[in-house]
Structure 1
Amino acid sequence: MHAPVLVLNEATKRETGSKVHHANIQASKAVADIIRTTLGPRSMLKMLLDPTGGIVLTNDGNAILRELDVAHPAAKTMLELSRTQDEEVGDGTTSVIILAGEMLYAAEPFIDKAFHPTVICRAYSKALEDAIAALDQIAFEINVNDRQMLLNIVRSCIGTKFTSRFGTLIADLAIDAVNTITVDLGNGIREVDIKKYVKVEKIPGGQLEDSKVLTGVMFNKDVVSPGKMRRRIANPRIILLDSPLEYKKGENMTNAELMNEDDWTVLLKMEEEYIENICSHILRFKPDLVITEKGLSDLASHYLSKAGVSAIRRIRKTDNNRIARACGATIVNRPEELQESDVGTGAGLFEVEKIGDEFFAYIVQCKDPKACTVLLRGASKDILNEVERNLQDALGVARNVIKDAKLVPGGGAAELAISSILKKKSSSIEGIEQWPYKAAARAFEVIPRTLAQNCGVNVIRTMTSLQARHADGKDPNIGIDGNSGVISDMKELGIWDSYGVKVQTFKTAIEAACMLLRIDDIVSGIKKKQAGGPAAPAKPQVEDEKDADGEQILPE
């Protein structure tokens, strides 16, 4: 048998060996260097210009990387890391990129010395296992009902953000929202779905201090007939539908042949009777508010307003789901199948308010709302967008802590403790894997080192002092105060990180570094259009077959 031959045409580019490794490492390091200055409370902001001329000011790692336009495949992989981290745990998007970049940079000397990438990856995987085991040693459990502790955790995680100057405002909003939607499933398992059940509504105007978490939901809609329908109802009975309250047309275009003048009247009467019939099914349950995702005709509006029922139409499905969860209603597909148990009675107040030029409907004061809306007010859209990004991070932190109530010290203390433990362990590892393992141990120090750099202190002195404090391994809580750059006890300052976020950061960063190191070939098979080349062969024309009536017969 002959070995398979890779045939490369003129348009195919190929890079191999250490050239690829160096290119990937340089690209990854370039991405890490872009957002290195956005780590910590003394972080710098980035001004992003999008193609349409819009400006975004932020220090959120994920928001910055989302706007980057990169061509190198390794750099694109690094951008994906940030997105994965954000979707998985909602925090640590900057740390994961910096750590992955440092892990790759630490591997460069070994590539130069002709170490096989598999050896380096094996050492890194061993370092990851030992790092998570070390993290378990320094982690401790907390009581999730201790609000002050939760507040400290969320504040320390978002203390690096723009909104940190407003005190505990964002942290309070995040904790209230997460506590509202948490469902205890028993056996210590909690369901916290912030994507589905926490809606952030941004309304320019007012002050940031006017922001609040509503005990229910709010959406940008007004009642169908403002003059006839009530805009304020106490303890409303709510019916939710996802079917239209209008005459149902045929599935395909229906042609009705009318012979006499009276036939038209009969047809209109049938439509009226159909809508009256649907409305009578709904009105049997004496609702105060009917909300549908589809259309609602003027006739249906007339019947409902005559019975003193307010109606809202064309609401988003996601909003409808939140309302159902907040007031205890069930979304019904067919009004004929309505039951008393489908009616929502858990809301204390329905109200429509005008804010600025728009109307907003509130369903609030719910008895047991398992969904909520966070109302954000602020001076301008740009500020509100940045506040929302900060709030999403805070919500992610609060969710992680409530789902997995374990903490590790912040301010780079956890990374320094892990680095110290791994350095001691490296001497017991046999063979050449010891060197990449030791390099991985040193790479963990990039987080505290970057914090020190962003504080503007003497990095070498600070890091030497920190390493000396962690050498005996007795106090893993010693880290850097991100505001002043002073070496401090994180326990006294109340600076904590979520255990779940740290584990995810380490796993994502090291596994991505290993994946990029194992690339030894980049083959680009993008074919360029050849100028003046032969034109593509034309498709043969087939004459369409026709049936007896001259209609075209489509091929099976």
Structure 2
Amino acid sequence: MGNQPLIVLSEESQRTSGKDAQSMNVQAGKAVAESVRTTLGPKGMDKMLVDSTGNVVVTNDGVTLLSEMDIDHPAADMIVEVAETQEDEVGDGTTSAVVIAGELLSQAEDLLDQDIHATTLAQGYRQAAEEATEALEEIAIDVEEDDDEVLEQIAATAMTGKGAESSRDLLAGLVVEAVQSVADDGEVDTDNIKVEKVVGGSIENSELVEGVIVDKERVSENMPYFAEDANVAIVDGDLEIKETEIDAEVNVTDPDQLEQFLEQEERQLREMVDKIADAGADVVFVDGGIDDMAQHYLAQEGIIAVRRVKSSDQSQLARATGARPVSNVDDLSEDDLGFAGSVAQKEIAGDQRIFVEDVDDAKAVTLILRGGTEHVIDEVDRAIEDSLGVVRTTLEDGKVLAGGGAPEVNLSLALRDYADSVGGREQLAVEAFADALEVIPRTLAENAGLDPIDSLVELRADHDAGDSAAGLDAYTGDTIDMDAEGVYEPLRVKTQAIESATEAAVMLLRIDDVIAAGDLAVSDDDDDEDMPAGGPGGMGGGMGGMGGGMGGMM
């Protein structure tokens, strides 16, 4: 072969190795964190996202921002996964998790420049995360599942700084009531809480219905509007004559024959309705369609019928009323029926809906959210989703932490003490981890227009003096006892954020070779066309050209 070079990669491939690869990934992660950093805390700002079709989303919810952005860099995608994991696990703390991940990468960058090996950093970060989780357990506050006051404070804390803040006390009460209603032996499935968004009115008009609201109308005007003490049937099929599976042709030579065909169809539909009536049903919810003749017979029997009901609505109806869905009316019996004290068609904001209320044991509820515009109500919905997540987590775990940056300052001091017992260069990584956690109180101060250094010094002094619940009041700039103030976050929000951020940072730091099938970067022309000056979220100068790969992230 001589000295002839061996070419393994195609000409279109791009390879970045060593410190260049590490730098590129670190810059990508930091850019994602920077894009959401200004949204953190009670005085965080909102972002406006406009997609290619002109649809607008105005929000400061971390996971919504990151999922709506058109991110096209593999390292940046890994940081977005941190937010998605946080949302799936606990429902809140997505921005904190991403900001911590970005700061861990930023701290690591300085150590990499000092020739600290990436695996040493990874080991130190993992040790620090493990110690941090144990330290959080020690300062956690126990909460009883019937402590409505604390649960409402937790729900209100999750809404702070979001579109629902003006009515957070009312909404927090509704959220706690909703979660407690669907709780079953300590387990909470928030899928049983349906959120119905209604444009019109104000947020103050929002209410909780102990039961289910189906966004449908009764199929015939001849049916009753209202049924009291109603027996409810759920049919997971349709009330129509089934078509044959094979095409067939029937020659009719006599008008009597045609009449017999029609009579046979009517008789079959009549039998279906008779079976529903014989079972004692007053209301029937059908997954499929309902034949016009069947509608006529149902109206004659005084039965309210609703067709094309979504499977998710059927599940909630079954859980709320106790009804058992049947796939065929032939199988319907009295034992399959559920009960509701009231089933009625009502108008809400100009639309007709079916309200199923006064159920014996409301294991499925509906939260009606009102708002003046669609954008307002969408942001309130996101705030409610976060609140439902934190209240659910609190009921399941029974442990919370004081908020306002208090846990992070406490952990930072604890980890610096712990670092003294860690041998070798890992000690530097543990200290870097401690510094990284302080990004949360520092960012809270920055977003509130306060001096972050002064705020951090004051917080450290209070924690050194033994006040583990001292946090930053973003409105006054003072450090206050967050426990006494009723500002709480579930323990799992913090532990999950630290664990996810650490794993993502460690994974990116251990990459020393990036081999891409195509070019990760875009040309300057494309970047100028797609990226406004200053970049999204004020990231000074946009993301193009960031370590050879962030162009075209959004």
- Residue 243 of structure 1 deviates from its aligned partner by 1.4
Which ranges of structure 2 fall in alignment gaps of 5 or more residues? 1-5, 521-554
Gap change, CA 1:26 and 1:325, over 3 Å in 2: same
- Residue 113 of structure 1 deviates from its aligned partner by 2.5
For residue 451 of structure 1, what is the aligned residue in structure 2?
444
Matched, 1:198 2:190: no
For residue 243 of structure 1, what is the aligned residue in structure 2?
237
- Residue 20 of structure 1 deviates from its aligned partner by 0.8
For residue 479 of structure 1, what is the aligned residue in structure 2?
471
For residue 509 of structure 2, what is the aligned residue in structure 1?
517
Distance 1:6 1:161 in 2: 54
SS of equivalent residue, structure 1 residue 332? coil
- Residue 478 of structure 1 deviates from its aligned partner by 1.2
For residue 535 of structure 1, what is the aligned residue in structure 2?
none
1:39-58 aligned at under 5 Å gives the runs: 39-58=40-59
1:521-540 aligned at under 5 Å gives the runs: 521-526=513-518
Preserved contact between residue 159 and residue 168 of structure 2 (Cα < 8 Å): no
- Residue 24 of structure 1 deviates from its aligned partner by 0.9
For residue 178 of structure 1, what is the aligned residue in structure 2?
179
Preserved contact between residue 100 and residue 513 of structure 1 (Cα < 8 Å): yes
Gap change, CA 1:6 and 1:115, over 3 Å in 2: farther
Identity of matched residues, %: 38
Letter of the 2:141 counterpart: F
One of 494, 506, 515 as aligned partner of 1:502: 494
One of 374, 385, 388 as aligned partner of 1:381: 374
SS of equivalent residue, structure 1 residue 401? helix
Gap change, CA 1:527 and 1:41, over 3 Å in 2: closer
Distance 1:306 1:395 in 2: 43
Stretch moving more, 398-407 or 51-60 = 51-60
Q: Under a length normalisation based on structure 1, what TM-score does the superposition of the two structures give?
A: 0.90
Q: Deviations over 1:477-509 (max 9, x none)?
A: 111112222111112211111011111111111
Distance 1:108 1:157 in 2: 32
Letter of the 1:191 counterpart: E
Preserved contact between residue 455 and residue 484 of structure 1 (Cα < 8 Å): no
For residue 319 of structure 1, what is the aligned residue in structure 2?
313
Distance 1:252 1:160 in 2: 61
Letter of the 2:477 counterpart: G
Gap change, CA 1:6 and 1:111, over 3 Å in 2: farther
Letter of the 2:265 counterpart: E
Preserved contact between residue 163 and residue 376 of structure 2 (Cα < 8 Å): no
1:233-272 aligned at under 5 Å gives the runs: 233-258=227-252, 260-272=254-266
Preserved contact between residue 204 and residue 378 of structure 1 (Cα < 8 Å): yes
Gap change, CA 1:17 and 1:252, over 3 Å in 2: farther
Which ranges of structure 1 fall in alignment gaps of 5 or more residues? 185-189, 529-556
- Residue 447 of structure 1 deviates from its aligned partner by 0.6
Preserved contact between residue 452 and residue 458 of structure 1 (Cα < 8 Å): yes
Distance 1:479 1:104 in 2: 25
Letter of the 1:416 counterpart: V
1:353-392 aligned at under 5 Å gives the runs: 353-392=346-385
Matched, 1:71 2:72: yes
Distance 1:484 1:255 in 2: 82
Distance 1:401 1:309 in 2: 43
Gap change, CA 1:245 and 1:18, over 3 Å in 2: same
One of 388, 411, 414 as aligned partner of 1:421: 414
Stretch moving more, 74-83 or 424-433 = 74-83
Distance 2:166 2:281 in 1: 46
Larger radius of gyration: 1
- Residue 290 of structure 1 deviates from its aligned partner by 1.1
Distance 1:108 1:22 in 2: 8
For residue 547 of structure 2, what is the aligned residue in structure 1?
none
Gap change, CA 1:278 and 1:497, over 3 Å in 2: same
For residue 531 of structure 2, what is the aligned residue in structure 1?
none
Distance 1:70 1:344 in 2: 48
Gap change, CA 1:253 and 1:522, over 3 Å in 2: farther
For residue 130 of structure 2, what is the aligned residue in structure 1?
129
Q: Deviations over 1:379-399 (max 9, x none)?
A: 111111111111111111111
Distance 1:222 1:152 in 2: 38
Distance 2:54 2:415 in 1: 48
Distance 2:69 2:280 in 1: 55
Distance 2:393 2:319 in 1: 22
Distance 1:468 1:355 in 2: 54
- Residue 8 of structure 1 deviates from its aligned partner by 1.1
One of 279, 284, 287 as aligned partner of 2:278: 284
SS of equivalent residue, structure 2 residue 230? coil
For residue 480 of structure 2, what is the aligned residue in structure 1?
488
One of 320, 337, 340 as aligned partner of 1:343: 337
Distance 2:519 2:490 in 1: 48
Q: Under a length normalisation based on structure 2, what TM-score does the superposition of the two structures give?
A: 0.90
Q: Deviations over 1:382-439 (max 9, x none)?
A: 1111111111111111111111110111111111111111100101111111111111
Matched, 1:328 2:329: no
Distance 2:263 2:401 in 1: 71
SS of equivalent residue, structure 1 residue 374? strand
1:13-162 aligned at under 5 Å gives the runs: 13-162=14-163
Preserved contact between residue 280 and residue 334 of structure 2 (Cα < 8 Å): no
- Residue 328 of structure 1 deviates from its aligned partner by 1.0
- Residue 92 of structure 1 deviates from its aligned partner by 0.3
SS of equivalent residue, structure 2 residue 220? coil
Q: Deviations over 1:323-362 (max 9, x none)?
A: 11111111111111122221112x1111111234421110
SS of equivalent residue, structure 1 residue 236? strand
Letter of the 1:498 counterpart: P
